[in-house]
Amino acid sequence: MESSRPRPPGAVDATVIPELAGLMPATGPFVTVYLNTEPAVENAAQRDELRWKALRQSLEEQGAPTPALEAIDPLVPDAHTRGRTLVGVAGPEGLLLTRHGPEPVATDVGRVGALPSLAPLLEWAQEALPHVIVLADRVGADLVGVGAAGEDVLSSVGPSDGHDPRIRKSKPGGWSQARYQERAEVAWEERAGEVAERVTSLVHDLEARLVVVAGDVRAVQLLREALPAEVDDLVAEVDGSRAADGSEDEMADNAVRLVATVAAADTTEFLRRWKEETGRGAAGVEGVGPVMAALRESRVDVLLVHDDPADERIGWFLPEAGMPAEGPVVLGELNLGEDPQSARLVDVAIFGALRTGAAVRIVPSVPADGLGALLRY
């Protein structure tokens, strides 16, 4: 039975990380590294070098190609200045992908295999929701748009020094006070409309899932009144100021927390939807065999994966055909003229999803074998 409902937001496909397209046809063996590079420790660079030395030796023992290791070597010395985890994927021809993750991994990971290990990278991508941050006062606003790839788009409306005489509410007293107050209020409303237009444009351009707003209470109120309803529905208000008063760090922490909350809600919705579809025997399957079969038939819309770093179960795949399976016999029966290759089961499932145009959602648990899927039909 085909599911007519749209895919819940937040799944990651090959378009989210451009380098993934180049990884799919590449020939292994692949070296995959996730190296903790915590910046807030003493002698961070030296510690990273020691960690890499130990991990590198393990990779050599696993048969890692020397060019792959040499491609990762120069990434290590300053990695702690760029993020909390260094991610590197390299092959016999050199470096294929590098990233600096926002969070540390539970333990350093170094793998050599016929496929790269991408699950942590995809999990970070699904948590990097595009969002807009607005710091508003009665003379304008500062806007920061954060895209899905983490890039910032900066923008300002109005002066930022707080000395716009047209905006400042004055109290001249006497008969003229009401007239001055009314003129100031009209000016605020005009500026709020300009800010609202800029916010709306950023939301549409970035396909933002959240708008975090802080600042002067009245300015925030006027801004929200000027926003279209579909944009105002995305707004979450937090404490903060446009002034350089030291509240920026708290504002950033609040934004990170709110983004994480939305991402967690996305995961909950994927699992709820999957359980519902699986329970009624419709557009949902679970377990290694059924999921692999659906991937081979290109029926998977979203692959749900629980990635345990200690899970070293093996799966099989055909590199050119992009077909995964739980065992080589299944693939041999297809008579496609390719010799099956083996790799870590989770990596094989993700490879099958990305090669067939499916999306992936990393989830904290899936009842059967760590794999589930929402189907196209």
Closest by CA to 122, choosing from 310, 362, 374, is: 362
Burial class of residue 320, CB neighbours in 10 A (0-12, 13-18, 19+): exposed
List, for residues 90-143, the tens digit of each pLDDT value.
999 899 999 998 888 889 999 999 999 999 999 999 998 999 988 888 778 888
The pair of structure tokens assigned to 359 is 């999306």
The alpha-helical segments, DSSP class H, found in 282-333 are: 288-296, 328-332
SS3 category, 24: coil
Using 50, 70 and 90 to split pLDDT, how confident is the model at 298? very high
Q: Stretch 74-91: mean pLDDT, rounded?
A: 94
pLDDT at 330 over 80: yes
Rounded CA-CA distance 9/304 in Å is 13
Residue-level pLDDT at 164: 44
Residue-level pLDDT at 169: 40
Q: Stretch 246-265: mean pLDDT, rounded?
A: 85
pLDDT at 151 over 80: no
Rounded CA-CA distance 288/292 in Å is 6
Q: 56 near 108, Cβ under 8 Å?
A: no
The pair of structure tokens assigned to 217 is 């209470």
Residue-level pLDDT at 96: 93
Residue-level pLDDT at 244: 67
List, for residues 163-222, the tens digit of each pLDDT value.
443 334 433 334 444 444 444 445 667 888 888 999 999 999 999 999 999 988 988 999
Burial class of residue 163, CB neighbours in 10 A (0-12, 13-18, 19+): exposed
Residue-level pLDDT at 4: 53
Residue-level pLDDT at 262: 94
Using 50, 70 and 90 to split pLDDT, how confident is the model at 247? low
Q: Stretch 250-264: mean pLDDT, rounded?
A: 89
Closest by CA to 310, choosing from 57, 36, 58, 107, is: 107
Q: Tell me which of 3-12, 171-180, 287-296 is least confident.
A: 171-180
* Type and span of the H or E element at 152: strand 152-157
Q: 199 near 211, Cβ under 8 Å?
A: yes
Rounded CA-CA distance 202/212 in Å is 13
Rounded CA-CA distance 158/129 in Å is 28
The alpha-helical segments, DSSP class H, found in the chain are: 19-23, 44-61, 66-72, 119-127, 177-206, 217-226, 229-232, 248-279, 288-296, 328-332, 345-355
Q: Stretch 296-309: mean pLDDT, rounded?
A: 95
Sketch out the chain's domains with CATH numbers.
Answer: 131-264 (3.30.420.60)
List, for residues 22-62, the tens digit of each pLDDT value.
787 778 899 999 999 988 888 889 999 999 999 999 999 99
Using 50, 70 and 90 to split pLDDT, how confident is the model at 322? confident
Torsions phi, psi for 277 (to 5 deg):
-65, -40
Closest by CA to 202, choosing from 147, 258, 128, 137, is: 147
- Percentage of the chain with pLDDT > 90? 56
pLDDT at 74 over 70: yes
User: Average pLDDT of the chain?
Assistant: 86
Q: 274 near 365, Cβ under 8 Å?
A: no
Using 50, 70 and 90 to split pLDDT, how confident is the model at 295? very high
Residue-level pLDDT at 150: 62
